[in-house]
Structure 1
Amino acid sequence: MWQPDRPFNELPDPPIDQLETKAVLKATIEARTALASLDQAIRRIPNPAVLVSALPLLEAKASSEIENIVTTTDELFRLASDTEEQASPETKETLRYRFALFAGLRSLQNRPLTSSTAMEVCSRIKAREMRVRDLSGTYIGNPATKIARYTPPEGRSIIEQKLSSWEKFIHGNPDLDPLVIMAAAHYQFEAIHPFADGNGRTGRILNILLLTERGLLREPVLYLSRHIIRNKDEYYERLLSVTRDDDWEGWLLFMLEGVRSTSFETLRIIDEIQSLQLTMREELRDTTSAGANADLLDLLFEQPYCRISIVMERCGVSRPTASKWLRELGDAGKLRDLRVGRERLFINHRFLEVLSA
């Protein structure tokens, strides 16, 4: 019998035969259709690095914001390719989220998604080695009143046993749709709450890794945390409702709607990015001595805070030439010129506006 203030050591596995209800199957078809459209759009893009550079940063920002780690899109992109100490602690931690996502993707090349993957991801997020917790007193609730809404399983051996069940659920149910597995496994992981910190962000990265592992997503560009941050209260209430009321259907429908809606929103972002790329290609030709330089165009989207030194390296040109190209775009109002200390940055502000709309 679950009680909010007692460790839920009897946490059950997802009820396999109860997950794919009629409503869930209908929502799964709609989510799969939207996700397939997104994946096809990614395959058509000549340079997917533009999306792979940008969208995981937005996912990192939203996922971190769910945990009240707040930074700005502007600061994230300005420091994304830098390790400057001037970054705020919140920005550094958010940037580590993207680093953890890509570390997780690399790990899938050598081994399937397991609890070891989760440990690696969480360790990257927290910048220290994270192991299964062996602490008592962990609970989810109001830290001021110390009233628990939920208390996860306690004891390392029990948590490791629950993680083993989580792995078996992910890989041992080929008849379940991967989207249903992703959503149910996300609840299961969050209910286990295996680490002392970073569980929410780790679990949301695992969602993307699972979809990638199953071949539903070519690149990690699903902006799923946008749905969660917009519906943060419902997200936590739906998680609790599974534990309290066994309401798997409500939880699965919430997550499937997130996949469907954010797939279409990401498609809109892709369309707007491609439209802006076409516009800027014409602007390069008409307003600069660079002409329609493809390397320069790609760079302005891969790194919207562009440095002269990066243009020199990427385009194989001298410093005077790189400086001239960027200055011409700045003078024409196509890029925004910004000085940070002794450094000069040229900002693709229209691209950032598309991303943050």
Structure 2
Amino acid sequence: MSFLSTYHKSFAMDPHLFEEDYTERRHSGNAFLFKIPVGGPDSFFYYDKAVFALAISLSEKNAKLNELYRTLPPLGQEQLIQHLFLDDAQASNEIEGLPTTKEGLFTLLQKKGRVDRFSLIVEEYSLLSQHQVSSPKSLEEIRTLYDQLIGTEDAETPIEKPDGRLFRKGPVGIYGGLELAPIHRGILGEEAIGQALNEALSIAKNPEIDFFSRSALFHFFFETIHPFYDGNGRTGRFLLSIAYQEEAGAVAPFILSAAIRKHRPAYYRAFKEAEDQRNKGDATTFVCPFLKIIDSGYDDTLAYLQKKQNLAEQLRAKTSPFVKTAAEKRLMEALLEASVYGDFGLTVLALSEAGKVGSATVNRFLAKLKKNGVLWIRRFGKKDYFLFPSPNTSL
């Protein structure tokens, strides 16, 4: 369904008709008014038909995604979530201009006690995958989450920490490309920042707005308020992931940054147009294209899962001749799930736990697979990880 934003209507319509249309939208029964300044003294959201259709589409696709996820065995679910959260953490880093590899992030995941910035990012995503973080309910909780996610300044990734009690006191401008003027300025003054964030927290809990729209609104307002000097984008996306975990299930939180990375120009354009004064504070100008981005992310993930299910059947057919006992069948299924839904395979210890057998049995089975050329071995740190090659690989 097509959507023409207030921003684009300001160019396409006669000025008098535009003002009438804007006034009707802003004061209709489908509008929500907010005390957050965006290109003016306040802002609003209008339940456009296109937004309503996207919310329904997202709800249906989310239900289908959760249904597919529930068909996976526990180890397959665990491996899929690890794959997705590493991909999402990598995407979030790339959006911030901090290129990393999934291998590097996986290595950090195996190490405990490190406090550098990348390790903290991986740790927070890991906690999210284990349902050990929750949406902030106060300004203090927003600051606590920020500190946990961003950490302390280091030489490789310097950050400017807030100089107010919770947030920044000074002005901030966001620059892009070769533009001399900032493309975005955050709200000025810590008191004003706090008031706007409290309003945004209320929006995030408003039951009169569907989850997908209100989470998009909170994301838009958080980034527009820009409460910190550094780390707003990463913190805002992580807050979005927490909200999706609480409302949408186990998988959805880990598809968001990847979807944003794929459609980054449209994502930034939505911010720019929604914050333009000609848009008159209409947050729908951001919400609709943003929901389209997330809807596309659901499409990609559903297609990926379907492809992986087909791959599992192909791989099971190719490896089944090497299975002779019940214990070997359990080990084969564990390897298959890690190979199909994960990225790096399983250690001997993990296979022993999954197969409910001793390490000697695991090593004998691995030796047989290796002898027959159906085993890949990858080393991370001091540990070997085992997995099956792709069915397209000659066995």
**TM-score bucket (shorter structure):** 0.7 to 0.9
Which of 151, 157, 160 in structure 1 is aligned with 2:194?
160
Aligned length: 335
Cα displacement (A) at 1:145: 7.0
Higher normalized contact order (CA 8 Å, seq sep 6+, divided by chain length): 1
Structure 2 contact 89–121 (Cα < 8 Å) conserved: yes
Structure 1 contact 64–94 (Cα < 8 Å) conserved: no
Cα displacement (A) at 1:134: 2.6
Cα displacement (A) at 1:54: 1.8
Which of 253, 278, 298 in structure 2 is aligned with 1:263?
298
Q: Does 1:133 align with 2:133?
A: no
Segment of structure 1 superposing worse, 20-29 or 161-170: 20-29
Q: Does 1:193 align with 2:226?
A: yes
Which of 227, 235, 243 in structure 1 is aligned with 2:275?
243
Q: For residues 343 and 170 of structure 1, do their structure 2 counterparts lie closer, same or farther at Cα, with a shift above 3 Å needed?
A: closer
Structure 2 letter corresponding to 1:242: A
Cα displacement (A) at 1:178: 1.4
Task: Give distance in 2, aligned partners of 1:44 and 1:343.
Answer: 30
Q: For residues 93 and 67 of structure 1, do their structure 2 counterparts lie closer, same or farther at Cα, with a shift above 3 Å needed?
A: farther
Cα displacement (A) at 1:99: 3.3
The superposition leaves residues 139-171 of structure 1 with CA deviations (integer Å, 9 ceiling, x where unpaired) of: 211498763111101322221111111111112
2:15 counterpart residue number: none
Task: Give distance in 2, aligned partners of 1:330 and 1:76.
Answer: 27
Structure 1 contact 13–166 (Cα < 8 Å) conserved: no
Q: For residues 49 and 342 of structure 1, do their structure 2 counterparts lie closer, same or farther at Cα, with a shift above 3 Å needed?
A: closer
Q: For residues 334 and 153 of structure 1, do their structure 2 counterparts lie closer, same or farther at Cα, with a shift above 3 Å needed?
A: farther
1:183 counterpart residue number: 216
Task: Give distance in 1, aligned partners of 2:129 and 2:380.
Answer: 29
Q: For residues 281 and 318 of structure 1, do their structure 2 counterparts lie closer, same or farther at Cα, with a shift above 3 Å needed?
A: same
Task: Give distance in 2, aligned partners of 1:80 and 1:341.
Answer: 11
Task: Give distance in 1, aligned partners of 2:287 and 2:127.
Answer: 26
Which of 5, 20, 23 in structure 1 is aligned with 2:50?
23
Q: For residues 52 and 345 of structure 1, do their structure 2 counterparts lie closer, same or farther at Cα, with a shift above 3 Å needed?
A: closer
Let me know the Cα RMSD of the aligned residues.
3.4
Q: Does 1:123 align with 2:147?
A: yes
Structure 1 contact 78–305 (Cα < 8 Å) conserved: no
SS of match in other structure, 1:292: helix
Q: For residues 188 and 220 of structure 1, do their structure 2 counterparts lie closer, same or farther at Cα, with a shift above 3 Å needed?
A: same
1:274 counterpart residue number: 309
Task: Give distance in 1, aligned partners of 2:125 and 2:272.
Answer: 28
Cα displacement (A) at 1:190: 0.4
Task: Give distance in 2, aligned partners of 1:270 and 1:346.
Answer: 22
1:344 counterpart residue number: 384
Task: Give distance in 1, aligned partners of 2:368 and 2:180.
Answer: 59
Map 1:167-316 → 2, pairs under 5 A: 167-171=201-205, 173-214=206-247, 216-244=248-276, 245-246=278-279, 248-288=283-323, 291-293=328-330, 294-300=333-339, 301=341, 304-316=344-356
1:4 counterpart residue number: none
Q: Does 1:72 align with 2:117?
A: no
Task: Give distance in 2, aligned partners of 1:299 and 1:26.
Answer: 37
Q: TM-score, normalised by structure 2?
A: 0.72
Structure 1 contact 296–315 (Cα < 8 Å) conserved: no
Segment of structure 1 superposing worse, 224-233 or 335-344: 335-344
Structure 1 contact 141–149 (Cα < 8 Å) conserved: yes
Structure 2 contact 85–125 (Cα < 8 Å) conserved: yes
Q: Does 1:36 align with 2:59?
A: no
Structure 2 letter corresponding to 1:125: L
Task: Give distance in 2, aligned partners of 1:259 and 1:32.
Answer: 11
Q: For residues 220 and 35 of structure 1, do their structure 2 counterparts lie closer, same or farther at Cα, with a shift above 3 Å needed?
A: closer
Structure 1 contact 304–348 (Cα < 8 Å) conserved: no
Extract unaligned runs of 5+ from structure 2: 1-35, 154-160
